[in-house]
Structure 1
Amino acid sequence: MGRRWWTAALPALILGLLMSPADALAAAAPGDGNLAVSATASASYTSSWESVAAIKDDIDPPSSNDTANPRWGTWPETGTQWAELTWSQPQTLRSAQVYFFDDNGGVRVPASWKLQYWNGSSYADVAGASGYPTAVNAYNKVVFNSVSSARLRVVLQSGAASVGLLEVKAYSTESPGNGGGTSGWTPPANLVTPLDQVWQHVESTYNPGPTVFRNFGWDQIMANRGSINYCVRWDSSAPVSAALRDRIHASLARQFKKWMDVMVGHNGWPYTEVPVKVVGWAVRDRATLQWSDNSVDVYVNDIRENAPQCAPPCGRFFNQNGQYPNCPGGAARHYDMSLWLTAGMGGGAGGDWGQRLGSEYFVNNIDAADMHILLHEIGHSFGLDDFYDWTPTGVGGFLMKAGSASRITEFDKWMFRDWWRHLKGRYGL
């Protein structure tokens, strides 16, 4: 059930206080060892209605566009801006987490950023930084070579808008992770051998595909800074009401979330949520879609592979540089994958272009807890293989071995995480 991501048979759209004793450090910081709470905050500039003290209040934001808690912003100032933590005595610093303020308007995530420390005479960049991600709705973690300093500065270079921060956390060790703990590569002992077999099979069979191919679901999410856009190819003459349209969207989002939940808190994965947006529908006949609002773009009678096609100028496969100059709805309405729903189709197919399955199957299972064909095909979009002709040692039924499981199993989860382990370096994480 399904096709691999490399198939050619489907369209390619397819710092506490170091008074010196360790107990003083523990007393000064909260339970997770966040040293920022004992610091004083300052900044290059602060909007009159914002507060730089917000960056060390130890309140975990619900999202980057947090309107309930204090925040630091620099609107209307742009260019290089900074926010700083200062302690009364030097701290041993090893890692930090930064949560960006982004209101999708005048304040956005920075084009770039870095950490600096005061070396006694000037500010210097921390050495050995693990990377500077710019995820929204999540903490961005940086581990660096240990330094002793009484000042830690977050330096932000704005892009098209001003910049801001909701929270900064600092640690004397490698920090707990994305706002509440993270684990690295720690699969159960009984899965180590079969997981190694799977990855060796991928490398030997499709080499150099996994290392050079740049349109996995992983790439799409990271390019979007934590979200995914879909266009629905309605390859059916059955009418679609606005209510059904919205239920299809909700169902797709629920199933996609099952894979994303596998990654939360794991091995530096930067997102706690990955919103799924349906930005367009493609049909043969506009009358099939029984709504007149403009919540999604509608593409009519552009037939490819004998099926309605969403506009190629809006598709990521054709625009992998992330620019969509000819997309009618603009970059915000680009689509990363297609949900191709075909009347009368049995089984499914999946790849970097999206997922294809029967329209009747999808609608009939729209409220199912686990739509196993769709889950299987989404796995292919992230690189997971089929297992038609072999089974890894010591494992039985699992979702990616078609027909042997109806939901994501523990082995599927660790195969999924293994792909992230091998690909995360391409994003500087």
Structure 2
Amino acid sequence: MNTRKALASTASILVAAGLALVTGGAPAQAAPGDNLAWTATPSASYTSPWESVAAIRDGIDPPRSNDTANPRWGTWPNQGQQWAELTWTTAQTVRAVEVYFFDDGGGVRVPASWRVQRWTGSAFADVTGASGYPVAADRYNQVTFTAVSTTRLRITLQSGAGSVGLLEVKAHGATTPPPASGWNPPANLVTPLNQVWAHQEQTYHNGNLYGFRNYGWDQLFANRGHINYCVRWDSSAPVTAAQRDQVHATLARQYRKWMDAMVGHNNWPYTEVPVRVVGWAVRDRAQLQWSDNSVDIYVGDIRENAPQCAAPCGRFFNQGGQYPNCPGGAARHYDHSLWLTDGFGGGAGGDWGQRMGREYYMNNLNAENMTILLHEIGHTYGLDDFYDWTPSGVGGFIMRAGSASSITEFDRWMLRDWWRHLKSRYGY
């Protein structure tokens, strides 16, 4: 569904709300700078046969240390000193590391201690100037140190109450400008891209395409590089903790497909865009079969005949980016809603988020491409529908509903074209 059409249908939810905030937890620490771990090859001293060392650099921010949905690295039953390592083909300059410990409350627990070591060319040595090595569950633990240039970085853990493991490792480089490749689409796409942009300028926001200030771009930059979600569970079905985590993992994985199209392009400043689910909205608290406080839970706020997270926490309702009346505080605000409705056919998308069938989403948790979700995220970033026309020289692409199941090169260049036209508003 077209972004602007979806905006109109959603305007009716701008009404006062009676809210029931049930619980809230602290969000993961925001990552400083770039994350070099994405480009590294992981290895480990030992990996349990059912775990994966590749999990430590898969780019998924864990919801908690006992993450039951996403891949993780663990060493059960081995104890003592264990390590996980990142290896690059060329030397990288690293100034900080963040680790998220795996702790299942049983055989795998947070370590007694840990440290970061670099490869000197002949041996591993502890980094110098370390700020300290915190050990805490359910959040990233960060250490900064004197910048090192190395091809191998090792996280060494000493077991405590059990075996050890990690859900994610982030390695942050010294501040350097991102790649500055500019506007250089393939020759065969120049004409259709120009046609698309001219159509958008002439058609939407009464000729004031640039005046609209709540595209996904605006939300992303207001957060300095991450996106928060609320799940509107428009269903009577129960949700287990494992399903909750799968909903988050799938959302992050699909969202990344769009964001990866921007990495290294035309001064794009981010190498990753973490996606956080900060809230769930339901009709009945008993539907949610967990008792931890990893997300805020909103009960009984019904708009458009569907549960809604707190309006004071929503970017759609507070486009200035201030959330003084959000029950969970500004850190718990949400930029998009993932609205999952029983029996809903097709999809809808806009600056408020994305909507689709609950059955469709849950049946495609492990799909390589969740086509409807990808299409609707495109609308959140301003991309058009193509119900009544097709740019010259191109065929199937995901924003032309029904003609492609995954993001195509033309879709990527349409997204980059939005950045080309809007980036000056963010100082690029």
Deviation at 1:106, TM superposition (A): 12
SS class of match (1:318): coil
TM (normalized to structure 2)? 0.64
Match in the other structure for 1:278: 277
Cα distance, 1:10 vs. partner?
2.8
- Does the CA contact (< 8 Å) of 1:138 and 1:270 recur in 2? no
Contact 2:98 2:142 in 1 (8 A): no
Equivalent pair of 2:345/2:357 in contact (CA under 8 Å) = yes
| Partner deviation per Cα, 1:100-119 (whole Å, 9 max, x = no partner) | xxx99999xxxxxxxxxxxx
Counterpart of 1:216 in structure 2 is: 215
Distance 1:64 1:222 in 2: 23
Q: Secondary structure at the match of 2:400?
A: coil
Look up the match of 2:174.
167
Structure 1 residue 3 displacement after superposition = 3.0
Q: Tell me: CA distance 1:352–1:168, structure 2 relative to 1, closer, same or farther (3 Å).
A: closer
| 1:326 paired residue number | 325
Separation in structure 2 between the aligned mates of residue 204 and residue 185 of structure 1, nearest angstrom: 22
What is residue 50 of structure 2 aligned with on the other side? none
Contact in 2 for aligned 1:5/1:381 (Cα 8 Å): no
Q: Which residue of 2 aligns with 1:227?
A: 226
**Structure 1 counterpart of 2:93:** 60
1:65/1:394 CA distance change after superposition, 3 Å: same
Q: Report if aligned partners of 2:216, 2:351 keep a CA contact under 8 Å in 1.
A: yes
What SS is found at the alignment partner of 1:11? helix
The amino acid across from 1:334 in the alignment is H
Of 183, 192, 195, 2:193 maps to: 195
Superimposed CA distance per residue, residues 60-97 of structure 1 (whole angstroms, 9 cap, x where no aligned partner): 34868598466799xxxxxxxxxxxxxxxxxxxxxxxx
The answer for the alignment partner of 1:424 in structure 2 is 423
Is residue 292 of structure 2 the alignment partner of residue 293 of structure 1? yes
Query: Which letter maps to 1:184?
Result: G
| CA–CA separation in structure 2 for the residues paired with 1:394 and 1:378 | 24
The answer to whether the aligner puts 1:311 opposite 2:344 as a matched pair is no
Give the distance between the partners of 1:258 and 1:8, measured in 2 at CA: 24
- CA shift at 1:197, angstroms? 0.1
Aligned to 1:350: 349
Distance (Å, rounded) in 1 between the aligned partners of 2:415 and 2:363: 28
Larger Rg: 1
> What letter is aligned with 1:404?
S
Residues 138 and 395 of structure 1: is their aligned pair in 2 closer, same or farther, counting only changes over 3 Å? farther
User: What is the alpha-carbon distance in structure 1 between the residues aligned to residue 406 and residue 96 of structure 2?
Assistant: 29
- 1:360 corresponds in structure 2 to 359
In the other structure, the counterpart of 2:71 is none
TM-superposition CA deviations, 1:172-223 (whole Å, max 9, x none): xxxxx42xx4421000000000000000000001143420111111111111
Is 1:383 the counterpart of 2:382 in the alignment?
yes
Query: How far did residue 343 of structure 1 move?
Result: 0.3
Note the aligned Cα RMSD (angstroms).
2.6
TM-score normalised over the length of structure 1: 0.64
Separation (CA, whole Å) in 1 of partners of 2:174 and 2:344: 49
Gaps of 5+ in 2: 15-90, 100-114, 117-126, 132-139, 145-169
Q: How many matched pairs? A: 292
Q: From the superposition, tell whether residues 292 and 392 of structure 1 become closer, same or farther in structure 2 (CA, over 3 Å).
A: same
Judge conservation of contact 1:184–1:268 (CA < 8 Å) in 2: yes
- 1-structure distance, mates of 2:295, 2:260: 26
Q: Which runs of structure 2 are paired with 1:400-415 in the superposition (5 Å)?
A: 400-415=399-414
Rounded Cα–Cα distance in structure 2 between residues aligned with 1:271 and 1:385 = 24
d(CA) in 2 for partners of 1:104, 1:222 = 24
Deviating above 4 A after TM superposition, structure 1's stretches of 4 or more consecutive aligned residues are 62-73, 103-107
Deviation at 1:322, TM superposition (A): 2.0
Distance in 1 between residues matched to 2:217 and 2:299, nearest whole Å: 30
Structure 1, unpaired ranges of 5+: 15-57, 74-102, 108-136, 140-165, 170-176
Quick one: distance in 2 between partners of 1:251 and 1:398? 21
| CA displacement, residues 266-303 of structure 1 (integer Å, 9 cap, x when unaligned) | 00110000000000000011111111111000000100
Determine if contact 1:184/1:267 at 8 Å carries over to the other structure: yes
| 1: CA distance, partners of 2:92 / 2:7 | 49
**Superposition deviation, residue 367 in structure 1:** 0.5
CA gap 1:70/1:287 in 2 versus in 1, 3 angstroms: same
Letter in 1 for 2:174: E
Distance verdict in 2 for CA 1:317–1:239, change over 3 Å? same
DSSP 3-state at the match of 1:367? coil
Distance 1:208 1:243 in 2: 46
Inter-partner Cα distance in structure 2 for 1:323 and 1:381: 20
Q: What SS is found at the alignment partner of 1:379?
A: helix
For 2:141 and 2:332, locate their aligned partners in 1 and report how far apart those are by CA, in whole Å.
15
Matches within 5 A, 1:1-150: 2-5=1-4, 7-12=6-11, 59-61=92-94, 68=116
Closer/same/farther in 2, CA of residues 190 and 294 from structure 1, 3 Å limit: same
CA distance in 1, matches of 2:422, 2:94: 28
Partner SS, residue 254 of structure 2: helix
Alignment-mate amino acid for residue 343 of structure 2: G
User: CA 1:65/1:322 → structure 2, altered by over 3 Å: closer, same or farther?
Assistant: farther
**Which residue does 1:205 correspond to in 2?**
203
Shift of 1:323: 1.7
Percent of paired sites with the same residue: 68
Q: Is the 8 A contact 2:130 2:143 kept in 1?
A: no
Over 3 Å counting, the alpha-carbon distance change for 1:262 and 1:138 in structure 2 is farther
